[in-house]
Structure 1
Amino acid sequence: MRETTAEDVLGRFCTSVGTRKRFEDWKADPRRAEVAPLVLAHRTRVLYHLAEEDVEGVCRDTEHALGTVKRADGESVREIVDWHPNFAFTHTFHICVERIGAVPTYQQFREFALHDADGQRMLGHPSKETIRRLVDAGCPQWHAQAAMRWRIGNAYYGFLREVYTLVQLRLRGIDLSVHPLADALFRVDAWIGCRALSLRVGNRKFREGANAGRKSRPEQLLADLEPPLQFDTIELEAATTFGQVHVPTAVHLDQAAARLSGT
């Protein structure tokens, strides 16, 4: 069975002074005391065996991940706009996939976060605690809940976009590897050989264009690897349709497949 482990990630990306230090600092961070063992033990398997109809079915059937939240409300609670629990969202999504053996609809993911023991400690309990703290500080409860729904719902749509891209590129002959350690620690959404792929959506506020960004890019984090990596990006325009999974077009995917295959 095809699988990717944390050892595979470290063997590919943790081979320079800078990347080894980044990994050791992450592992030693007290906030990662629960995170590191779970992520280092994770094995990506399910995502490699998805059919096109599996992902399209989830995109079609999932509950609206943003609910009825308006953008103005979702992005107006400063403490939640960039909120991250100790477990990165990608950790929770990947572990949920392996736990249920499929890509979850939003309602399945919510069930995992609220009722599975790992889901609770990764996302369910931290999100509830953040809402409680904000309400105690004077934020209306509906407002804090709306902002959290917006934050988590958009992260969920982002994960679906990555899975859709993985499956579509595999159909085009590009057998990409993925793992939450590579994503969260080195900002690599997927890779094949010495080529690292990033999937980005233009955003006026955050990381549109080559020189902007609230997060370090893999080109920066992995610049000192030898032999050097080649970096590729699929960059989409900002979504224009509310509540739908914003995925690359066939043209985006065909062009990316050609670049990643070296043709």
Structure 2
Amino acid sequence: MAETTSEDVLGLFCTTESTRRRFDDWCVDPRRSEVVPMVMAHRTRVLYDLTEADISHVCQNTEHALGEVRRQVGESVPEIVDWHPNFAFTHTFHICVERLGCVPTYQRFREFSFHDPDGRNMLGDPAMKLVRDLVTREKYTEDRVRAAIRWRVGNAYYGFLREVYAFAHLRLRGVDLRFHPLADALFRVDAWTGRRALSLRVGNKKFRQGMNAGRKTPAEQLLADILPPLRFDTIELAAATRFGVVHVPSAGQLDEAAARLLAG
């Protein structure tokens, strides 16, 4: 069975003064006191066994992750637009997958977040605390706060499902892609094969488009001084045009990406 550990991530990406300092700062951050041991102990296994049928089933059977929330309401609470719990969303998604033994539909992920002890600690309880805090301060109605959180988490879920879809299909095309939430959250590497790091990006006015734009420092900059040098590849999608549908790369985009990665 294929497996990727945090040690695998550190051995490849944490080899310079700047990356070691980034890792050390993360380890001693008081907000990450519960995060670090869970992520460091995490082993990616389930994602390596996904079939095309598994991915299609989730995409076709997931509940609408955004519910009835529209952008105007979903982005109307500034405190939630860029809200991050102590556990990054990618941490929660990856741990959920390994715990359940499958990629969950949104409704199953929501059940994990509110009923599993770890799920509650990572996402469910922080979300409910945020609701209480904002409503207590009488800044917004409870319905508006809940809608904004649904928009934030729902979009994060769709992003994760898009990555899983793309990378599973690339592996089915023969690319030995690897993943781990430590690489994703700390070094901005969505997946990698050998010494090639891969990012999946959706370009639009708000989020990053191309290497030099956006609010997050891309892997190309974070890992620029690693030797031997890493090579970087990107699958970039145009902005989604259909509401509440999993926005995934086309077969042609995946074919082109697989050809580039296999050639390298």
TM over 0.5: yes
Matches within 5 A, 1:36-185: 36-138=36-138, 139-185=140-186
Contact 2:211 2:218 in 1 (8 A): no
CA distance in 2, matches of 1:4, 1:210: 27
Superposed CA offset, 1:51-88 (max 9, x none): 11001100000000000001100011100000000000
Cross-structure match for 2:27: 27
CA distance in 1, matches of 2:220, 2:137: 40
Give the structure-1-normalised TM-score. Answer: 0.99
Amino acid at match of 1:63: E
Amino acid at match of 1:218: A
State how many pairs are aligned: 263
Amino acid at match of 2:74: G
Offset of residue 4 of structure 1: 0.2
Cross-structure match for 2:210: 209
Cross-structure match for 1:196: 197
Amino acid at match of 1:56: S
CA distance in 2, matches of 1:210, 1:177: 22
CA distance in 1, matches of 2:199, 2:137: 38
Mean Cα displacement is larger for which, 210-219 or 147-156? Answer: 210-219
Amino acid at match of 2:28: A
CA distance in 2, matches of 1:210, 1:112: 35
Amino acid at match of 1:235: E
Superposed CA offset, 1:193-232 (max 9, x none): 0100000001211212332111010001101100010000
CA distance in 2, matches of 1:203, 1:129: 31
CA distance in 1, matches of 2:102, 2:161: 12
Offset of residue 103 of structure 1: 0.3
Cross-structure match for 1:14: 14
Residue 198 of structure 1 aligns to a residue in which SS? Answer: strand
Cross-structure match for 2:219: 218
Residue 79 of structure 1 aligns to a residue in which SS? Answer: helix
Amino acid at match of 1:240: T
Cross-structure match for 2:234: 233
CA distance in 2, matches of 1:209, 1:10: 26
Unaligned runs of 5+ in 1: none
CA distance in 1, matches of 2:93, 2:106: 11
CA distance in 2, matches of 1:20, 1:210: 23
Superposed CA offset, 1:230-251 (max 9, x none): 0000000000010110000011
Mean Cα displacement is larger for which, 136-145 or 38-47? Answer: 136-145
Cross-structure match for 2:5: 5
Amino acid at match of 2:262: S
Give the structure-2-normalised TM-score. Answer: 0.98
